Amino acid sequence: MRHVDFAPLYRSTVGFDRLFSMLDSLGQPESASPSYPPYNIERTGENAYRITMAVAGFGENDLSLESRENVLTVKGEKKDEKEEGERDILYRGIAGRAFERRFQLAEYVEVKGASLKNGLLHIDLVRVIPEAMKPRKIEIASVGNGNSKQIEANAA
């Protein structure tokens, strides 16, 4: 696989270092994303998002969520539980294997909450833009409003 050198772009851009590092890491073989558990990412509002993961067979105590440095990590691990009567499972179609899924969050995106319903884990995200980063309207002052002095010619 070809390797793309982003070094010339580092010199001409400011603040995009993380973006280029992410693009560079996409071509690495260890970045092949696992397919379990399946998930959806949807936009629920102008600055609101939701990640929905299919985690059938996992309970609230089997799942853990952690958000640190723009990375959301979802881990699932089934505790060994022996039910009364000790059943023999003839076929296991519901996967109960441990997983760890990481989501790279954009700047100013925070985890608002999470809920587990009908085997689906819903993680609500919200983008909170600081006041200093929001666009603001700048008034343009007019210069020629009659208060300027005439320098060389006499007024007629």
The stretch 84-89 carries a mean pLDDT of 69
Cβ–Cβ under 8 Å, residues 72 and 103: yes
Lowest model confidence (mean pLDDT) among 20-29, 38-47, 143-152: 20-29
Supply the pLDDT for residue 138: 85
Supply the pLDDT for residue 31: 46
Supply the pLDDT for residue 51: 92
The stretch 120-132 carries a mean pLDDT of 89
All structural domains of the chain: 37-81+91-133 (2.60.40.790)
Q: How confident is the model at residue 18 (pLDDT cuts 50, 70, 90)?
A: low
The stretch 15-38 carries a mean pLDDT of 60
Tell me 20's DSSP state.
H
Cβ-defined contacts of 60-64 (< 8 Å, 24+):
60/116, 63/116, 63/121
pLDDT for residue 33 is more than 50:
yes
The stretch 56-78 carries a mean pLDDT of 90
pLDDT for residue 151 is more than 90:
no
pTM of the model: 0.62
The stretch 128-133 carries a mean pLDDT of 82
Structure tokens at 46: 């102008």
Residue 72: name the closest of 99, 105, 42, 37 by CA: 105
